[in-house]
Structure 1
Amino acid sequence: MHTDLDPVPTDAVLPSRVDVVIIGGGILGVSTAYFLAKRGVSVALCEKGEIGAEQSSRNWGWVRKQGGDPSEIPLTLHSVELWNTMNEDIGAETGFRTCGSISLASSARDIAACEGWVDSVREYLPELGTKVLSKRELQDILPGAPRHFVGGLYTATDGRAEPQLAAPAIAKAARSRGAAVMTNCAVRGFETSAGRISGVVTEKGSIACGSVVLAGGAWCRIFCANMGIFFPQLKLRTSVMRTKPLEGGPETAAMAPGYSFRRRLDGGYTIGTGFMNYADLVPDSFRMLPLFWPTLRHEWSTIRVRLGRRFFDELTMPARWRLDGVSPFEAARILDPDPVVSDLDRVLETLSADFPVFRSAKIAKQWAGMIDVSPDAMPFLTAIPSTPGFFIATGFSGHGFGNGPGAGYLMADLVTGAKPHVNPHPFRFSRFTDGPRPEYHARV
């Protein structure tokens, strides 16, 4: 495994009936389970592998408000509000700390992009507290920043958390409030009665329920396909590393075109490849191209396309299976792709040139993860109209960890019929078919 996950006990007995079954034990799944359990809703969370073992523990650990799509900002603000009280609320350590974050700008064009984003979210600026930094202001906030950076986008109240701690801690809190948590328990599919959800079939037996929330990350498309639902989703592979404790480094998290870094709770750093990710060519890459192309053409410079083993893995993966047979989720419990070590070597070299303190950094671990991506890089937090009682929570396209608590809270609203805490309309399933195509907003 890529990192040391905090283990979560599994319930020994599969419940025969609950109100809601949640499929997937990442940050969205456990947050949904927790906020439902807090409302007295009976919940079973089923995870095919271990809690948080895929992208929810492989991400950078950033909890940031800045840089997102304007229509997503209310969700992000609520998420950060929840993160600020999460440790106290669940009585456990998630690693959340406020540290601030900066997107470093190398040119006047970068500064213009930062200013453009600030203009697009001006109505939220009092809550965001985001500002565009001049070169001198950048030096005050990030001492020693290289002179080739001319400023940046800064949010003092952004934070960080520890991915290997957070999802397990929230899952345990959900369990303490009565939720059943089943690990190594793949859900093969759902069953319906009179056209609506009536239960799920797992590898360990069936659970009767009235609602199902699919929070399966990169696995959602294949699950939906077996249920006869077209779901648009692709994946990006990202490489990350962490260092051993390092004295004297920056406390503020920062991102530049060639790298990202943030301080860890243990005194080390999580270092990523900045904006660069890999798109492993798979059969769905060609099937999904018309839907994804408007976004891809904006982000092409940040994506490297590769043809490798993943193409053949997905080509031979069953597209359909019987619910009384073995599913693909049982054949691949945890997506554990290899990191691109040469890229990480270059990242550390570039980072050390810009911030000399990292020249003495000792690498503790390197890993990779698979980011689930939607056509417009916006999440799906939605009911599926064709199947009453079926909901999907996925598609954050690289910013799901920070938004996980707010997304889980919103899903609890949708499932229970409560008044949504934030407007769910931008995250609806039908947004590509019920009007003009959603406009893509690049993250900065």
Structure 2
Amino acid sequence: MPGPYVVPVHGDAELPKQVDVVVIGGGIIGTSTALELAERGLKVALCEKGGIGHEQSSRNWGWVRISRRDPREVPLMAEALRIWADLDRRTGRDTGYKRAGIVFTCADQKEYDDHERWNRNLEGYQLETRMLSRAEFKAKYPDSNMNVEGALYTAADGRAEPQKAAPAIAEAARDKGAHILTECAVRGLQLSGGAVSGVVTERGEIACSAVVLAGGAWSSLFLGNNGLDLPQLKVMNSVLRTKPLEGGPEEAMWSSGFAIRKRQDGGYTIASGHENIVDIVPASFRYATKFLPALVKEWRSLKFRVGSRFFDEARIPRRWALDEASPFEYHRVLDPVPSKKLTTVALANLKKAFPVFEKAEIAQRWAGMIDVTPDAVPVIDAVAAIPGLHVATGFSGHGFGIGPAAGKLMADIVTGREPVVERTAFRFSRFSDGSKIELISGF
């Protein structure tokens, strides 16, 4: 079954000849960056090879969370929570955002202590978050059969609709003067004296002095054509959505057996709490050394497989000329077949935990490709080797909620403003300068 229905965004008919910044990628990171830049008075062209938000930005769980984040992302996510609260007014459109809270359950005392320790990362942020005891959890969810030690409950967290958010932000950017170009793949960069002077798209050239690559799972391939190496692999996550159902939890919830989020239509998005599929592909061997520490830590939650994707990716050229069709024109949208097994097991676990879900009717299943880095922390940085090139990618399954703030940070970097948060953890060079790469939060 194809991916979820996404609010359509019709691309501009005319290609601008010159802008200040070209943003490559129409997911929530790219659209948020475009909106920030356009609001600051820059001329912006956003180029998307397919449709706005058609890949992971519309396929994720829809969580807007600061809880259980990598500590390096917490300051940026705190800013994101502030942005989300005003995003509907700012865009003039419905993103489905609601401050509804997120609950991370604790199976035993060890997990409870771990969550309690993690929660100290939020000290000083004045956010509503606390630990629930076993009795408090039972009182909050009297109809649940879950036997848990307690839970981390962050009322400040929220949810939004992935199929609405990126389109709403893109349209708001267009309201501010940005060009929104769909089915317009960028083949590569034009350089003058080693610095960015424009891009070549499948529809023609656009002159510019700055480029932001927000290409998600395609970013490593794009950078490789310019001699830049970004260690990035794909992890497939499968979800299902139900038809509207009354009586389920209002808060999003994570456990080892399931993860759920109430949808705006009254249904639920449901996925495995920890299992994802990793296809062995040529890049798996190319980046094996860099990802090894992460794989050692996460191997229990990753289901490795060898199949047709190995040969599909082996056939994708890693170098191409700008006067010929690029790989991005032959592969517009990553739309993998979801794992029926993983989603069925997640739903079965959910039914045991909350009997009300015995009434749940499955409306659709889909999968998406998460772009991961070895430390599961994104790159949000200028690339020193090519002046004018900037990268915002590798959000490792955490990008939807943090997206609006990532766009703000990227815009700060492009325009030379004081960054909204300290940005060292997000530097591009950390994978090549000998820095210790440490996975903290997981994929």
Q: How big is the shift at 1:285?
A: 0.6
Matching of residue 132 in structure 1 with residue 131 in structure 2: yes
Alignment partners' CA distance in 1, 2:146 and 2:71? 31
Return 5+ residue gaps in structure 1 as ranges: none
Alignment partners' CA distance in 2, 1:66 and 1:338? 30
Q: How big is the shift at 1:287?
A: 1.1
Cα offsets for 1:340-368 (capped at 9, x unmatched):
11221111111101100111001111000
Matched letter for residue 144 of structure 1: D
- Secondary structure of 2:29's counterpart equals helix
Return 5+ residue gaps in structure 2 as ranges: none
- Secondary structure of 2:299's counterpart equals helix
Matching of residue 89 in structure 1 with residue 98 in structure 2: no
Match of 2:187 in 1: 188
Alignment partners' CA distance in 2, 1:127 and 1:311? 47
Matching of residue 251 in structure 1 with residue 255 in structure 2: no
Alignment partners' CA distance in 1, 2:224 and 2:434? 24
CA contact (8 A) 1:36 1:412 kept: yes
Q: How big is the shift at 1:122?
A: 5.1
Q: How big is the shift at 1:434?
A: 3.4
Evaluate the alpha carbon distance shift between residue 209 and residue 94 of structure 1 in structure 2; reply closer, same or farther with a 3 A threshold: same
CA contact (8 A) 1:66 1:128 kept: no
Percent identity between the two aligned chains:
52
Matched letter for residue 55 of structure 2: E
Alignment partners' CA distance in 1, 2:288 and 2:64? 30
Cα offsets for 1:148-184 (capped at 9, x unmatched):
2111111011000000000001000000110000000
Match of 2:164 in 1: 165
Q: How big is the shift at 1:415?
A: 0.4
Match of 1:271 in 2: 270
Alignment partners' CA distance in 2, 1:431 and 1:141? 44
Match of 2:360 in 1: 361
CA contact (8 A) 1:233 1:395 kept: yes
Match of 2:39 in 1: 38
Q: How big is the shift at 1:276?
A: 0.8
Q: How big is the shift at 1:146?
A: 2.6
CA contact (8 A) 1:142 1:252 kept: no
Alignment partners' CA distance in 1, 2:156 and 2:13? 41
Q: How big is the shift at 1:112?
A: 2.1
Alignment partners' CA distance in 1, 2:263 and 2:283? 36
Match of 1:419 in 2: 418
Alignment partners' CA distance in 2, 1:148 and 1:443? 25
Q: How big is the shift at 1:130?
A: 2.4
Alignment partners' CA distance in 2, 1:143 and 1:431? 47
Match of 2:215 in 1: 216
Matched letter for residue 337 of structure 1: P
Matched letter for residue 173 of structure 1: A
Matched letter for residue 107 of structure 1: D
Matched letter for residue 66 of structure 1: S
Cα offsets for 1:390-432 (capped at 9, x unmatched):
0000111001000000000000100011111111111001123
Q: How big is the shift at 1:194?
A: 1.1
Alignment partners' CA distance in 2, 1:75 and 1:346? 34
Q: How big is the shift at 1:145?
A: 3.0
Alignment partners' CA distance in 2, 1:398 and 1:140? 32
CA contact (8 A) 1:23 1:187 kept: yes
Match of 2:23 in 1: 22
Give the alignment of 1:229-308 within 5 angstroms: 229-308=228-307
Cα offsets for 1:183-221 (capped at 9, x unmatched):
000000001101110000000000000000000000001
Alignment partners' CA distance in 2, 1:314 and 1:420? 37
Match of 1:72 in 2: 73
Match of 1:431 in 2: 430
Q: What's the RMSD between the two structures over aligned residues?
A: 1.2
Alignment partners' CA distance in 1, 2:274 and 2:150? 18
Alignment partners' CA distance in 2, 1:222 and 1:182? 21
Give the alignment of 1:340-351 within 5 angstroms: 340-351=339-350
Alignment partners' CA distance in 1, 2:208 and 2:238? 38
- Secondary structure of 1:75's counterpart equals helix
CA contact (8 A) 1:138 1:145 kept: no
Q: How big is the shift at 1:147?
A: 4.1
Evaluate the alpha carbon distance shift between residue 314 and residue 146 of structure 1 in structure 2; reply closer, same or farther with a 3 A threshold: same
Q: State the aligned residue count.
A: 442
139-148 vs 234-243, greater mean Cα deviation: 139-148
CA contact (8 A) 2:231 2:431 kept: no
CA contact (8 A) 2:293 2:438 kept: no
238-247 vs 293-302, greater mean Cα deviation: 293-302
Cα offsets for 1:57-85 (capped at 9, x unmatched):
00000001110111210100001110000
Evaluate the alpha carbon distance shift between residue 434 and residue 146 of structure 1 in structure 2; reply closer, same or farther with a 3 A threshold: same
Match of 2:399 in 1: 400
Match of 2:64 in 1: 63
- Secondary structure of 2:284's counterpart equals helix
CA contact (8 A) 1:32 1:411 kept: yes
Alignment partners' CA distance in 1, 2:251 and 2:226? 45
Per the normalisation by structure 1, the TM-score is: 0.97
Alignment partners' CA distance in 2, 1:301 and 1:144? 31
- Secondary structure of 1:97's counterpart equals coil
Matching of residue 309 in structure 1 with residue 308 in structure 2: yes
Alignment partners' CA distance in 2, 1:271 and 1:118? 25
- Secondary structure of 1:128's counterpart equals coil
Q: How big is the shift at 1:107?
A: 1.2
CA contact (8 A) 1:242 1:363 kept: yes
Matched letter for residue 290 of structure 1: T
- Secondary structure of 2:363's counterpart equals strand
- Secondary structure of 1:350's counterpart equals helix
Match of 1:108 in 2: 109
- Secondary structure of 2:126's counterpart equals helix
